[in-house]
Structure 1
Amino acid sequence: MKIRNAGRARRFALGSTVALTVAGMNAPAVLGFAGEQYHQYAINRPDYKAEYGHWQTVTLPAEFRINAVHATLLRTGKILIIAGSGNDQKSFDAGTFRSLLWDPAKNTYKPVPTPADMFCGGHGSLPDGRVLVAGGTLRYEALDGAVKKAAGTMRVRNENPEAARTFPKGTVFTAPNGRGYASTAEVTVPAAVKTGGGDRTVVTAGEQHVFVEAVAPGADSVYGSPAQYTIKGLTGADARDLYGMSEHLTLEKQDFQGVRSAFEFNPDTEMYEQVTDMAYARWYPTLTGLGDGRVVTVSGLDDTGRILSGNDNEIYDPASRTWSKAPDRYFPTYPSIFLTASGRLFYSGSNAGYGPADKGREPGLWDLRDNTFQPVPGLRDPSLTETSSSVLLPPAQAQKVMVLGGGGVGESPLSTARTDIADLSAAKPAFTPGPDLPAGGTRYLNSVIMPDDSVFTTGGSGDYRGKHRSDLLKAQFYHPDTNRFSTAAEPAVGRDYHSEALLLPDGRVVVLGSNPLFADKADSEPAAFEQRVEIYTPPYLFHGERPQVTGAPDVAKLGGTVAVSTPKPDGIATAKLIRPSSVTHATDVEQRSVALDVTGRSGGGVSLALPANPDLLPPGWYMLFVTDGAGTPSVARWIKVTA
């Protein structure tokens, strides 16, 4: 396993004296060389940085460049970057699946063996600091005209109540006209269920579906009507009890298909560990942690390319590493679902990619205990929530969720500058208007909670996947206390689909990925996946000396008090625990900032009180930041919160 050390790579950690590969803000081409020189001079002036911050654009060593589709900050300070096949058909066909561990502080890189295609799966942090990764890609889409073999869903039935049956990938189902269709995955069909007795015995066939495609290519392989299929190789009673049923097998467009597999990434061993498979395959699911440490998993495309119906939600228990049934509720893919202080889950309406325009788009509070759903009205531009960003505004105690930007369903060119805020603490929760995004209509915006209680937003595009060169080289801060945006320095790299941004323990922001469709304004040249990384240093890190945390416990209990050592306790204005991000597709339901009360000061430190509510402060690892009166944060200390 290759490890790249800081001594052999270019450093870009804070305070480094080693040269960086740095590109400044985009300057208009008409400025020419002299104008660009002045632009670089202007953005590197101390007064400019102190007001707007500063960007560094970093090119990783070639052997460690990766298509960053998913990114999770670990309690070790390292970032787990998952590409899987990286939206690359050739990598998928070759079985080349990639993950990378990157340590921004030490500037080290380590490839991680990746046992399955986790591309477009779901993920979230567990209470012990492990990362649950569930779902991914079984099969890439095939567009109209590219499908050469008729294919579709085969419902495999078992009328034998004595035993389940497993059929390997490649099992052939034969149509009444003699044409064969091979399964694309292994399938296990449960035994039939027998009820009653005697003359009143009823046998209900066990059933499981699998995707099949014709053995022979061509239009003759299309079977356009419902039919029963025999299973090649079966004889006697098996041939009677086991068979396939399909409505039709066609040459129509085929969507991506998901997998059932799930893994935990262990930050100590830095390896994936396989856990029990989900009952349902998922591609584009959302995983949301609960106050008791379990994880609810919803939505996605199944292993035939159909969006899950909502009666297939599951809950993962990290204690047993097993899955169980969750209450029924339909959502479009990658729905933004946040745990609230009441224990209910808030669906903001934000989502990504798949699902009908008239189903599952309404925001609301979902109670897993009785499976009730309370709509939250007032969201403007409700048809433009796909590829929008949602964030639980700081502090989490305010129980406000903001929806930012978004676009139309599917490949719509429409986008919106709308931001709206839902106050979930109100007797009748509803959205109220927020300020418009300064850059105008924006899809794929990344939003990051900062230690000074602002929200940093960056990137995005005005059109679907950056079409017509619509990437927005803009960044800004939203300030919940004043309900206003302020300008930040402009990034140099456009970011749209498959991009991520997350907060580092040193208070900076790292931005990765981007997967535009085209490289030119005419949309005639295909674009490469963006592999450059940007690091944004906020203005507060150019304001002089920052507070220090010189000592803190490794573990803190809900409802308890922690003693934090700091050389200037009188200068500490605020303290908060920020949960590390786990982000993909503009969806990050993990990050939250929970304010801590400063209950005492002494010559050597401060005492901080933690909330007792696990639904407000879910058990797990957090970054502890303290800030001074100007909002300048310390470097974070990692603390594990336990029940």
Structure 2
Amino acid sequence: MKTFSPSLLYHHLLLSLLVILLHARQCPAAGGSWSVLLPSIGISAMHMQLLPNDRVVTYDRTDFGVSNISLPNGKCRPNSTDCSAHSVEYDVGSNTVRPLMVLTNVWCSSGTLMPDGTLIQTGGWADGYRRVRTYKSCSKCDWKEIPDGLNQQRWYATNHLLPNGRQIIIGGRQAFNYEFYPKKSATENSPSFPFLVQTNDPNVENNLYPFVFLYPDGNLFVFANNRAILFDYSKNQVVKTYPTIPGGQPRNYPSTGSAVLLPLRIKKGEIDAVEVLVCGGAPTGAFVNANNGKFDGALDTCGRIKISDPNPQWVMETMPMARVMGDMLLLPNGHVLIINGASAGVAGWELGRNPVLSPVIYTPDNQIGSRFEVQNPSTKPRVYHSTAVLLRDGRVLVGGSNPHDKYVFTNVLYPTELSLEAFSPSYLESNSSSMRPRIISPKNKSNIRYGKRVAITFTVSGPVDLKLVTVTLMSPSFNTHSFSMNQRLLVLDSANSAKAVGKSTYKVGVVAPPSGNIAPAGNYMLFVVHKDIPSPGIWVQIRR
């Protein structure tokens, strides 16, 4: 009988282990699941906004051709033979859609919720350039349009809600300026914004849909192309200039990466760190190359910068896969979901290739090198003109994808996609249900005041670690073209106050955000998070 020495046996075992490691997947799928909610909503969801009544308003463009859903009661748009809808309202609770009438072209427009929950949508193409449209949800509500509501033509602009309750609207194609809505007067002007001129590539405008975030001092962080500034919009002054992102590659439309403001943690009324994460995009020259039939590989890097540092510097990380036209969404537990997109080409008609079907979870608090986890894939390509928004129950609603000039369903690489899907992160898996909190009070649609203490009662059916309980506030964002405008997640100051008050019942006291600079007045989803598992949210309205 053949025998092995201990030393030889050790080497055989080591060799076997190395073989296993070499063949192991470097980024194993961590979880998450997909479900098709509706095979068709009649339109391709190019723009999407969750409303504070758990309905989602979505729209594409009015010149795509006839959609697959008719306007009600035999209506047609004025001066048009198109009697189909190009906007719908999706009811999350009933899983149904209702067609809406939009009159002018909303293609590549922008918007944000006002404090009262009204969606203000701005700009678009052609007859929509200077339109303002408002939508207040109810069972019979529809779009209302304001001709010449904007000073300038806005196409591919970015909106953000401000501490004073107005929206700022920044940029757009050949619009190197900004303006506000609502107007204080009919003569209110549109200040020039030289930063948009400086970041404008003469060969292709790589600074459209700039990434804009409200900084806790009331100024705005603005990222365009490959650079960023801190901007005082009230004085039209640059407060700070940040370093160019390493590599200098463009990250905005049509190179179309995405960005988030990482969760803001409030401690004793202050924010200790403010960080921005920018991921994906396409290399310099990719737009020109794609138009000539060469599809460059997308960028696989993320840049993270602590913009609150006295001398902020970018820290670069590598994603598990390259991605252009991906969406970045904050989840209630503070993780970042990167979803949708392609691994080659750029944004534009027929210009993307190789869809990326697997989402990725980025965990900001993990050590660098262990922050990304690949999730289970969808079966539906979501490329140009796809969207994603977080729902109050913790799922992510995913829709859209139309890389064509019209609705095209056959004989193309990526047919127009009319379906709605839901991606359920792993915190919604059945094995987490006993650890998932349920909020008892306050009730849904409660009001909270700046700086005031809020008592939250919740239940957890299984064992609880009270040291791992946090409370977060999430603003509902307007999503289009791989950027979620007005997206913001706040981790409230609770000072480890969670305690048991009965069988499986607990209470935690938190302090509401101190000011509109940190949380502009308006509607937010409030979540109790236990062991990174969020409760179903409740709607709260922050008031002055």
Normalised TM-score (structure 2): 0.77
> Is 1:104 aligned to residue 92 of structure 2?
yes
**Structure 1 residues 371 and 343: alpha-carbon distance in aligned structure 2, compared to 1, 3 A threshold:** same
Partner of 2:166: 294
Equivalent positions of 1:108-257 (< 5 A) are 108-138=96-126
Q: Distance in 2 between matches of 1:512 and 1:583?
A: 11
Q: Which amino acid aligns with 2:113?
A: S
Match of 2:258 in 1: 389
Tell me the equivalent position of 1:260: 130
Which of 406, 426, 429 is 2:312 aligned to? 429
Instruction: Give 1:270 deviation, angstroms.
Output: 3.0
Residues in 2 aligned to 1:527 and 1:536: alpha-carbon distance in whole angstroms: 20
Q: Does 1:55 align with 2:31?
A: no
Question: Which secondary structure state, in structure 1, belongs to the residue aligned with residue 440 of structure 2?
Answer: coil
Q: Is the 8 A contact 1:505 1:635 kept in 2?
A: yes
Cα displacement string for residues 109-135 of structure 1 (whole angstroms, at most 9, x for unaligned residues):
111121322121111111111111011
Write the distance in 1 (CA, Å) between the matches of 2:379 and 2:152. 41
The alignment partner of 1:118 has SS state of coil
- Tell me how far apart the structure 2 counterparts of residues 524 and 411 of structure 1 sit (CA, whole Å): 25
**Partner of 1:535 in structure 2?**
422
Change over 3 Å in CA distance of 1:430–1:290 after alignment to 2: farther
Residue 82 of structure 1: how far off its partner (Å): 1.2
Partner deviation per Cα, 1:488-529 (whole Å, 9 max, x = no partner): 1111111111111111100111111112359xxxx9847432
| Aligned equivalents of 1:498, 1:411: Cα separation in 2 | 20
Which residue of 619, 632, 636 maps to 2:521?
619
Q: Please say if residues 570 and 601 of structure 1, whose CA atoms lie closer than 8 Å, have aligned partners that are also in contact.
A: no
CA distance in 2, matches of 1:621, 1:468: 36
Instruction: Pick the aligned partner of 1:464 from 343, 346, 350.
Output: 346
> Residue in 2 aligned with 1:327?
191
The verdict on how the C-alpha distance between 1:560 and 1:585 changes in structure 2, with shifts beyond 3 A counting, is: same
Counterpart of 1:342? 217
Q: CA deviation at 1:324?
A: 3.0
Once residues 66 and 87 of structure 2 are traced to their aligned partners in structure 1, the CA distance between those partners, rounded to angstroms, is: 17
Structure 2 distance, partners of 1:82, 1:463, is 25
Cα distance between partner residues in 2 of 1:584 and 1:420: 21
Q: Does 1:632 align with 2:533?
A: yes
User: Secondary structure of 1:325's partner?
Assistant: coil
Q: Does 1:480 align with 2:372?
A: no
Structure 2 Cα separation of the partners of residues 470 and 637 of structure 1: 38
- Cα distance in 2 for residues equivalent to 1:640 and 1:468: 40
Root-mean-square deviation over aligned CA pairs:
2.7
Within the alignment, does 1:72 sit opposite 2:60 as a pair? Answer: no
For residues 322 and 346 of structure 1, what CA distance do their matches in structure 2 show? 28
Quick check: 2:256–2:346 contact (8 Å CA) kept in 1?
no
Partners in 1 of 2:518 and 2:220 — Cα distance? 12
Q: Which of the pair has the greater relative contact order for Cα pairs under 8 Å at 6+ separation?
A: 2
Evaluate the alpha carbon distance shift between residue 400 and residue 574 of structure 1 in structure 2; reply closer, same or farther with a 3 A threshold. Answer: same
SS of the aligned residue for 2:427 comes to helix
* Structure 1: runs of 5+ lacking an equivalent: 1-47, 140-257, 302-306, 351-360
Q: Would the alpha carbon gap of residues 394 and 94 (structure 1) be closer, same or farther in structure 2, given more than 3 Å must change?
A: farther
Which residue among 489, 493, 496 is the counterpart of 2:383? 496
Task: Map 1:391-470 onto structure 2 (within 5 A).
Answer: 391-395=260-264, 397=271, 398-407=273-282, 408=284, 410-412=287-289, 413-414=295-296, 415-433=298-316, 435-440=317-322, 442-461=323-342, 462-465=344-347, 467=351, 469-470=353-354
CA separation of 1:138 and 1:590: change in aligned 2, threshold 3 A: same
2:225 is the counterpart of 1:365? no
Q: Distance in 1 between matches of 2:414 and 2:48?
A: 22
Contact 2:494 2:508 in 1 (8 A): yes
Q: How much identity, in percent, do the aligned residues show? A: 26
- Conserved? CA contact 2:60–2:86, under 8 Å: yes
Corresponding position of 2:433? 544
* Partner amino acid, structure 2, of 1:589: M
| Residue 278 (structure 1) aligns with | 150
Deviation, structure 1 residue 260 = 0.9
Q: What are the equivalent positions in structure 2 for 1:11-50 lying under 5 Å apart? A: none
In structure 2, do the counterparts of structure 1 residues 566 and 59 end up closer, same or farther at CA, with 3 Å as the change threshold? closer
Task: State how far apart, in whole Å, the 2-side matches of 1:544 and 1:619 are.
Answer: 33
What TM-score comes out, normalization by structure 1 length?
Answer: 0.65
Distance change in 2, residues 1:367/1:428 (3 Å):
farther
Matched, 1:578 2:477: no
The equivalent residue for 2:451 is: 559
**Alpha-carbon deviation of 1:531?**
1.3
Residue 4 of structure 2: aligned partner: none
Match of 2:24 in 1: none
* Deviation string, structure 1 residues 402-424 (Cα, Å, up to 9, x no partner): 11010146354332111001211
Using the TM superposition, give the Cα deviation of residue 534 of structure 1 relative to its aligned residue in structure 2, in angstroms. Answer: 1.8
Count the aligned residue pairs. Answer: 450
Report the AA paired with residue 64 of structure 2: D
Using the TM superposition, give the Cα deviation of residue 429 of structure 1 relative to its aligned residue in structure 2, in angstroms.
Answer: 2.9
Q: Computing the radius of gyration over CA atoms, which structure comes out larger, 1 or 2?
A: 1
**How many angstroms does 1:464 deviate by?**
2.5
Pick closer, same or farther for the CA change 1:457–1:491 going to 2, 3 Å: same
Query: What amino acid sits opposite 1:334 in the alignment?
Result: Y
SS at match of 1:588: strand
CA contact (8 A) 1:83 1:97 kept: no
Note if contact 2:85-2:99 (Cα within 8 Å) is conserved in structure 1.
no
SS at match of 1:55: strand
